[in-house]
Structure 1
Amino acid sequence: MPTKKYGVNELREMFLQFFESKGHLRLPSFSLIPQNDASLLLINSGMAPMKPWFTGEQEPPCHRVCTCQKCIRTGDIDNIGHTARHGTYFEMLGNFSFGDYFKHEAIAWSWEFLTSPEWVGLDPERLYPSIYEEDDEAFEIWNKEIGIPAERIFRFGKADNFWEHGSGPCGPCSEIYYDRGERYGCGRPDCTVGCDCDRYMEVWNNVFSQFNNDGEGHYTELKQKNIDTGMGLERLAVVCQDVDSLFDVDTVMNITHKVTDITGARYGETREKDVSLRVITDHIRSATFMICDGVLPSNEGRGYVLRRLLRRAARHGKLLGVNEPFLYEVCDTVIHENEGHYPELRERRDYITKVIRTEEENFARTIDGGMKIFNDLLAGHKGKGETVFSGADAFKLYDTYGFPIDLTIEMAAEQGLSVDEEAFKALMQEQKERARKAREALGDLGWAGVEFGKDVPETQFVGYDHTSVDDARVAALVVENEQAEELMPGVEAIVVLDKTPFYAEMGGQVADHGAITAPGGALFQVTDVQKNKGGKYMHYGKLTGGVLKLGDTVAAAIDVPRRKAVMRAHSATHLLDKALRAVLGDHVQQAGSLVEPDRLRFDFTHFSAMTTEELQKVEDMVNEAVLEGYEVCTDVLPIEEAKQRGAIALFGEKYGDTVRVVDMGHGYSVEFCGGTHLDNTAKVGVFHILSEFSVASGVRRIEAITGHATLACIRDNCCTINAVSEALKTKPAELVQKALQESQEIRELRHAVESFKAKEAVGEASNFLMGAREVGGLKVLTATLNDAEAERLRKMGDFLRDKDQRVVAVLSSVKDGKITFLCVCGKEAVAKGIKAGDIIKKVTSLCGGKGGGKPDSAMGGGSDVLKLDNALATVDDFVHEKLGL
């Protein structure tokens, strides 16, 4: 034991100060939500947020860093509460080197921090290092430099001392174990470091990060050698405070005390109560930090992880006799115990509490309505002597009463039954198909699944004339399909304004991007906008700073360069429609479109693929209209007047009594359109068609680019032409002629090579024939060629068959671990009943393959190369048997 029983918060600060004294930059914990890392659902280790720094993809802020990282792991969730070592939320202390120091310093500093009286002060005699079995360098450091006797240094294999967690940086590691004493041991005489009991607890893990794992088991050397130290804060506290488990350390036990105050259950009364107290304590810690970082309960992804944790905790509350929401009260204790290092917990206290309480209340209604049904269904299964809870019953509980399948599995297991999960999944899939068809039937009626009341006004769109407004009002906030009063940083949500310059995705044109800001520093980044049937513009995005409240007066500004790029593509789409009708005929009708920044996709009705000449005419016609610099005018007209002016109605659009008409060139192109456009066609820039292809029967698609995208394409093409010209040692203007000359030379060389190979094959086959064995008047031969192509075998076989009518030849080739067989039989051999197809079937079957063919020629393959010689040896016996010799 150390000289002082340090608390969790003291140990955290002590560790960070120690490594600051060693030249490390202290960084705050990263969010539990991974950034730009699709391989992780939640941050599960100290190094996970730093992968780009380890791989060398990004430059770290300092080559020595130390952190205390929040982590969530749910792989062992069913063990939570039942064991002393499992928890979903934990803090990982870490010191990291990105191409700076390596094994010597990492090992020395870990020993200094743990054993020095100035720091933790653990007894060195109770500490035991372990190393990867092949890491002799680490052994020498521990033995020679630190002075640990060889018998106290343990070598373990990859499963124990090679650290990796999914894809990313990894490498051998050296752990430090603390002997907690015999009272925590298993009692076996051979109990030592590595035993599964709780006596020897790992308190430090020095990971020598040298490799990158691509997630498929392939390892490559990292550009730089790194250090990744992982030390569980709670584990270190268990040792320092001399307590039984991570649930007994001060900050965690204080949460449990709060739970006992509410539930009346006392820790240590019964094993069942202890399990429930531990589950509640662990899960509320996880939930509080997850919500603080922006995770919200949902039915998928990390939101489902949070929902599952809260509902498991709530159910264990009911097992302790609490039938009212109570977890939201416990989260205040979690905040109090951790706000010194995580001040954002206090800042977001009200928000965290509200999320937890809402989820509790929703689940209370779910579980109250479904528990009686569950018990009835359970009694039915038990009454029949069954040990499996049916998938249909599990689905009924989920579909009708909202019981998560995990909850049903857990409750059934407590009663000794398993659940037919495969049947449940099948019923879930059927439900998804029904829901998908229902959504298709609803069309646009169900955006976001939110019903707005009459107090939420229809949004006024001012984006035709303005790119920003500074007096919009927040009319509604939506989080996870539920209306909210305010948004906190990190939350993904929908914001509805009473007026907006943001164009919502409609008519094939993508939505504007931009930002909504409010006094006090609130910043909501808009990444999508949709308009529902009620005329509300729903701005999708994420609050990256400040607090946004219902009723706030905000400024809304679109990304102007992006809008201009979209307008270039949209105006070009109208010109393309015009050109297609002119070149292909009036039968052309728009069948869909997508307009993105400087890029467009246009579907149209046409009966055949366009020729190169037709595509060139269309592209030229669009660019002529661009060069003409036609004025673009928009008017809102009665629909009949618009039709009289020749306006074309676009595919799939529904029009009212008045319509918006876009006129380019005073009649050159006139179409109904609600999208945003340029004021002059010249601003489209160069128009270029990338491709034309079929997407359905009678429907073609053109993909094209404009503006900056075209300029980039031209630049890339020029670079390619210059590079090819340089490679062929010619001028760009002479490139085609040079390429034709090179192509002709290549064809001639290939012909010469093939001719040479044919002659070589014939010569080799002649040598084989000379060594043939006489069997009953026939010439039998077998041969193996290394890496020979099938074509070469065929040429040799044709020569042998035509050269001698008595021949029976089996040729084989081994390439890339696979065998190719060819058998040929001359006319006399076939007349005597020797068929190539029969021989091939026999030899290939012996080598784990198959084949067949005609009596005079057959081919096949095999995979067992070791049996090739035995297979060829059976050919003589086969001929003997067929001839009756």
Structure 2
Amino acid sequence: MQTAEIQRRWLTYFGERGHTVVPSASLVSDDPALLFTVAGMVPFIPYFTGVVPAPFPRATSVQKCIRTLDIEEVGKTTRHGTFFQMNGNFSFGDYFKEQAIAYAWELLTSSEADGGLGFAEKDLWVTVYEDDDEAIGFWKKIAGLPDERIQRMGKEDNYWSTGQPGPAGPCSEIYFDRGPEYGPEGGPAADDTRYIEIWNLVFMQYLIADVQSKTEFRIVSELPRKNIDTGMGMERVAFLKQGVDNMYEIDQVRPVLDAASALSRRVYGSDHDDDVRMRVIADHVRSSLMLMTDGVSPGNEGRGYILRRLLRRVVRAMRLLGVDSPSFPELFQASRLAMRDAYPDVEEQWERTSRLAVAEEETFRTTLASGTTILDLAVEDTQKKGAAALPGDTAFLLHDTFGFPIDLTLEIAEEAGLTVDRAAFDRLMLEQRTRAKADAKAKKRALADLSVYSEMRAAGETVFTGYDYLQTDSRVLGILLDGLPVDRAAAGEIVEVILAETALYPESGGQAADAGAIVGDGFELEVLDVQRPVKGLISHTVEVRSGEVAVGVPATSVVDPVYRHSAAQAHSATHLVHAALRQTLGSEAHQSGSFNKAGYLRLDFAWNQALSAETRSELEEIANNAVRDNLEVTTRILPIAEAKAAGAMALFGEKYGDTVRMVDIGGPWSRELCAGIHVRTSAEVGLVNLVSESSVGSANRRVEALVGLEAFRDLAAERAIVSTLTSSLKTPREQLPQRIESLVAELKAAEKKIAAFEASQLSGRVPALVEKAARVGGYLAVVEDLGTLSSADELRSLATSVRERLGSEPSVVALAARVGDKPAVIVATSPAARERGAKAGALAKQAATVLGGGGGGKDDLAQGGGSDTAAIGAALSGISATLAG
């Protein structure tokens, strides 16, 4: 049974039983505490917690998920994958345990001919929470399971919660027995390799508090509306139904594994290590394809970093299979063909995702070349020291800074006859993970408990009137102080205020929040920020400027009209620049992110090379021609399918409902899905001034522009600079470039002459310094204060020149000077001096300590500095005393 068929049967079964079929949400989670959608129930969390009223009593979905917590286990077990699909059925206060168990059992055990999944009843086991006698009773009643195939488990295994105060409850898991060849008898409690979990039913029936850990919490009460959250692992069921040993061999994954086998000419199944590598490749390629299809681009932070890590692990694994040439075109093509039937958007976004993948592979191959050079030097240094192990901090630096995989470091070190101090590396990795977890935990704690919005959201969605009005009368629904509800707020306090209606635009779609105020009888609130903390609710962060505001009182939201107009100019200009990019570079230059506020816009787009000055000029001209043409700006609300059919562009990473707002500028000239604020005609934008273009990743560029009055002010400032230059240089404006080029050439020539003169002057000082050489202890030493020099380089040049002139005797040169009002000291030693024990690094550090600073270096040449120029004499005397001793 193919994976797509399992998906079809699931949705059909529950759809026919009154469940609303909900399409998979994006892998990019709406939850600010999550980078990705990590479970099938994540999109439904607001309904389970009651923050947002559920729009349906029961639902079903097949949800795309990403988890990378156990990434090191990928390929080694039958069930660890970074991308997986969770088939779920959900009840929001509708049916509960008995019906959920009945649905699961019927779908699993009904014959394939009747639309079921066809599992034999004798092969299924269940686990239940140890105190849940009710669930055990239903399993016996519905499935007729004997006692020995129902196992009680503790909270660690069979109790669900978010890890935070809120809804929780026992769960019951269904396992499939693969047979004695896979492990010992005894059920899931004895062996979870033989007995594979395929379905988990969560009975969300309690409210918990005082959460200390997964097993330590206090049950406060039963929930007034009990919920059901179930999940069946698509990949696990697929590999069982397809008769293969693991999830990497199912129809949606195996083609990539086969492609890796063909490229490497290694036979899958003939070597354990190679098999693990091929499975890693197959899993990570699919995960990367799905992430990029959902708008994620490789980067150095957050989601982009995780995607980059997956891609680089693929490159590493292919290299360990002996493939040094580019392989992503073949690997990703195989994954595309395997996934496109289930997910048509894989095909729609293929040009973009394939370009991102190939560019990232090329970038990492360059990184590997650089990392290999650094590693080779480290290996050479380790061998010179006679050590057997490469330092762990070197391996960690390569991993953390250069993205150089530890397995590759181990391989190269082994080829050189070395090991790696893996214990030190692991310790540093653990420290990094601990810091990251602590940071994530702190961020999670910092997030307001969204349940505080429940009562306000229950009153209905906040009505946004800002498309048509700059002020709106309403009333205060709620006030939050430090994340907790309060009845009122007084002057000087910063609070969140929720209104029933508002004209103030909340930050979204790349547009910054409106500026403005909320006023009422006896109070005035300055608006600092406007956000959507939960779906359908708009919250205003305000400072109470005067008076006192209370829950329930009338209030009027007032938009700053100057700021709003300038922000609308910038947002419309973003659309103009995006259209200009696509007109200039082609449809591949797709917007991948944006931000705009009053007078400013930033737009990221898919492209892998810098734009020429001519291209930037052309973009600017196209955008401003659109301004000149006074194109009409219109908005329409329509079904998303209709908008896409009309050619509307959607921003990657943005979430769209069934109905969308489409913004046209000049009809189809610019047509995008957008909820932002816009001008009425393009002429209102005023002026677009591109001020920068830069890289934001291996396959993404960024343009920034000033808009309207801000653009004019910037150009006026440039005009003032040009005017000053023409006056100072007595040169007409059109001749300024040639005049400045001539002056720069003259300056460089003068600098060369000065440098030659200074070098000659320095060389002239060497003989006099050599004549001052004197016996100090067993050394021929030159210890001198040279007064003031222009740079430490001059001091270093003198020290090495004097050392060379002193010949083969044990000699030490210690020179000091004032460089830029700071003391500097250079120490140089000859080979014979070093053999007698004189180390330049130690001597420089000693002198720098006296100077009130720090220093050090190699045994032959070192430098130091400090802050006390008056101590130069004492520092040099200390060096002489050390040599004498």
Give the TM-score of the pair, scaled to structure 1.
Answer: 0.50
- Bigger radius of gyration, 1 or 2? 1
8 Å Cα contact 2:110-2:118 kept in structure 1: yes
8 Å Cα contact 1:391-1:422 kept in structure 2: no
Q: In the comparison of the two structures, how many residue pairs are matched?
A: 507
* Structure 1 match to 2:670: 554
Residue among 180, 183, 186 paired with 2:181: 183
Shift in alpha-carbon separation, 1:340–1:555, aligned structure 2, 3 A: closer
**Is the aligned partner of 1:157 residue 2:154?**
yes
* Structure 2 match to 1:148: 145
8 Å Cα contact 1:56-1:224 kept in structure 2: no
Shift in alpha-carbon separation, 1:343–1:269, aligned structure 2, 3 A: same
* Structure 1 match to 2:85: 91
Superposed displacement of residue 310, structure 1: 0.2
* Structure 2 match to 1:865: none
Note the residue ranges of structure 1 that are not aligned, 5 or more in a row. 1-5, 429-461, 502-513, 528-543, 563-632, 643-652, 660-885
8 Å Cα contact 2:59-2:91 kept in structure 1: yes
Shift in alpha-carbon separation, 1:526–1:141, aligned structure 2, 3 A: closer
* Structure 1 match to 2:15: 20
Residue among 645, 648, 651 paired with 1:521: 648
* Structure 1 match to 2:244: 243
Paired letter, 1:260: S
1:498-527 per-residue CA deviation (whole Å, 9 max, x = no partner) reads 2779xxxxxxxxxxxx99x99821256999
**Structure 2 CA distance for aligned equivalents of residues 546 and 267 of structure 1:** 50
Superposed displacement of residue 8, structure 1: 1.4
* Structure 2 match to 1:435: none
* Structure 2 match to 1:65: 59
**Is the aligned partner of 1:225 residue 2:223?**
no
What's the RMSD between the two structures over aligned residues? Answer: 4.9
Aligned 1:783-794 pairs, distance under 5 A: none
Aligned 1:720-799 pairs, distance under 5 A: none
Percent of aligned pairs sharing the same letter? 37
1:155-194 per-residue CA deviation (whole Å, 9 max, x = no partner) reads 0001111134555754211111111100111x4xx64322
Paired letter, 1:486: A
Residue among 120, 135, 138 paired with 1:138: 135
Superposed displacement of residue 258, structure 1: 2.2
Shift in alpha-carbon separation, 1:553–1:393, aligned structure 2, 3 A: same
Superposed displacement of residue 74, structure 1: 0.7
| Larger RCO (CA within 8 A; separation ≥ 6) | 2
Shift in alpha-carbon separation, 1:476–1:381, aligned structure 2, 3 A: farther
Residue among 190, 203, 206 paired with 2:201: 206
8 Å Cα contact 1:283-1:309 kept in structure 2: yes
**SS of residue paired to 1:93:** strand
Shift in alpha-carbon separation, 1:147–1:354, aligned structure 2, 3 A: same
Superposed displacement of residue 226, structure 1: 0.9
**Structure 2 CA distance for aligned equivalents of residues 237 and 274 of structure 1:** 20
Paired letter, 2:240: V
**SS of residue paired to 1:486:** coil
Paired letter, 1:289: M
Shift in alpha-carbon separation, 1:388–1:53, aligned structure 2, 3 A: farther
Shift in alpha-carbon separation, 1:547–1:491, aligned structure 2, 3 A: farther
**Is the aligned partner of 1:498 residue 2:620?**
yes
Aligned 1:40-79 pairs, distance under 5 A: 40-79=34-73
**Structure 2 CA distance for aligned equivalents of residues 227 and 464 of structure 1:** 45
**Structure 2 CA distance for aligned equivalents of residues 310 and 483 of structure 1:** 27
**Is the aligned partner of 1:195 residue 2:193?**
no
* Structure 2 match to 1:331: 332
Residue among 590, 594, 609 paired with 1:487: 590
**Is the aligned partner of 1:367 residue 2:494?**
no
* Structure 2 match to 1:357: 358
Paired letter, 2:135: A
Shift in alpha-carbon separation, 1:311–1:166, aligned structure 2, 3 A: farther
**Structure 1 CA distance for aligned equivalents of residues 67 and 411 of structure 2:** 19
1:730-760 per-residue CA deviation (whole Å, 9 max, x = no partner) reads xxxxxxxxxxxxxxxxxxxxxxxxxxxxxxx
* Structure 2 match to 1:284: 285
Superposed displacement of residue 54, structure 1: 0.9
**Structure 1 CA distance for aligned equivalents of residues 567 and 102 of structure 2:** 66
**SS of residue paired to 1:498:** helix
1:700-758 per-residue CA deviation (whole Å, 9 max, x = no partner) reads xxxxxxxxxxxxxxxxxxxxxxxxxxxxxxxxxxxxxxxxxxxxxxxxxxxxxxxxxxx
Shift in alpha-carbon separation, 1:412–1:60, aligned structure 2, 3 A: farther
Shift in alpha-carbon separation, 1:411–1:307, aligned structure 2, 3 A: farther
8 Å Cα contact 1:392-1:423 kept in structure 2: no
Superposed displacement of residue 136, structure 1: 1.0
* Structure 2 match to 1:857: none
* Structure 1 match to 2:125: 128
1:253-304 per-residue CA deviation (whole Å, 9 max, x = no partner) reads 2221222222222111211210110110010010000001111111111111
Aligned 1:325-474 pairs, distance under 5 A: 325-375=326-376, 377-378=378-379, 389-392=391-394, 394-395=396-397, 399=401, 401=402, 403=404, 417-418=421-422, 419-420=424-425, 472-474=576-578
Shift in alpha-carbon separation, 1:388–1:289, aligned structure 2, 3 A: same
**Structure 2 CA distance for aligned equivalents of residues 306 and 195 of structure 1:** 36
8 Å Cα contact 1:32-1:71 kept in structure 2: yes
* Structure 2 match to 1:656: 720
Shift in alpha-carbon separation, 1:488–1:233, aligned structure 2, 3 A: farther
Shift in alpha-carbon separation, 1:244–1:421, aligned structure 2, 3 A: closer
**Structure 2 CA distance for aligned equivalents of residues 159 and 353 of structure 1:** 42
Superposed displacement of residue 386, structure 1: 5.6
**SS of residue paired to 2:23:** coil
Aligned 1:495-644 pairs, distance under 5 A: 498=620, 520-522=647-649, 553-554=669-670, 559=677
Residue among 91, 108, 111 paired with 1:114: 108
Shift in alpha-carbon separation, 1:144–1:427, aligned structure 2, 3 A: closer
8 Å Cα contact 1:243-1:249 kept in structure 2: yes
Superposed displacement of residue 381, structure 1: 5.1
8 Å Cα contact 1:470-1:554 kept in structure 2: no
Superposed displacement of residue 213, structure 1: 6.7
8 Å Cα contact 1:391-1:424 kept in structure 2: no
Shift in alpha-carbon separation, 1:525–1:143, aligned structure 2, 3 A: closer
Superposed displacement of residue 379, structure 1: 6.8
Shift in alpha-carbon separation, 1:484–1:547, aligned structure 2, 3 A: farther
**SS of residue paired to 2:103:** helix
8 Å Cα contact 1:184-1:199 kept in structure 2: yes
Note the residue ranges of structure 2 that are not aligned, 5 or more in a row. 434-564, 596-602, 606-615, 625-634, 637-642, 655-659, 681-708, 724-885
Shift in alpha-carbon separation, 1:272–1:520, aligned structure 2, 3 A: same
Superposed displacement of residue 26, structure 1: 1.1
8 Å Cα contact 2:568-2:678 kept in structure 1: no
8 Å Cα contact 1:522-1:545 kept in structure 2: no
Shift in alpha-carbon separation, 1:655–1:230, aligned structure 2, 3 A: same
8 Å Cα contact 2:313-2:405 kept in structure 1: no
Give the TM-score of the pair, scaled to structure 2.
Answer: 0.50
1:351-395 per-residue CA deviation (whole Å, 9 max, x = no partner) reads 110110000000011112322532553576587556673325532
Superposed displacement of residue 83, structure 1: 2.1
Shift in alpha-carbon separation, 1:145–1:346, aligned structure 2, 3 A: same
Shift in alpha-carbon separation, 1:397–1:150, aligned structure 2, 3 A: closer
Superposed displacement of residue 49, structure 1: 1.4
1:546-588 per-residue CA deviation (whole Å, 9 max, x = no partner) reads 9999xx95379973699xxxxxxxxxxxxxxxxxxxxxxxxxx
**Structure 2 CA distance for aligned equivalents of residues 123 and 194 of structure 1:** 21
8 Å Cα contact 2:388-2:419 kept in structure 1: no
**Structure 2 CA distance for aligned equivalents of residues 33 and 209 of structure 1:** 25
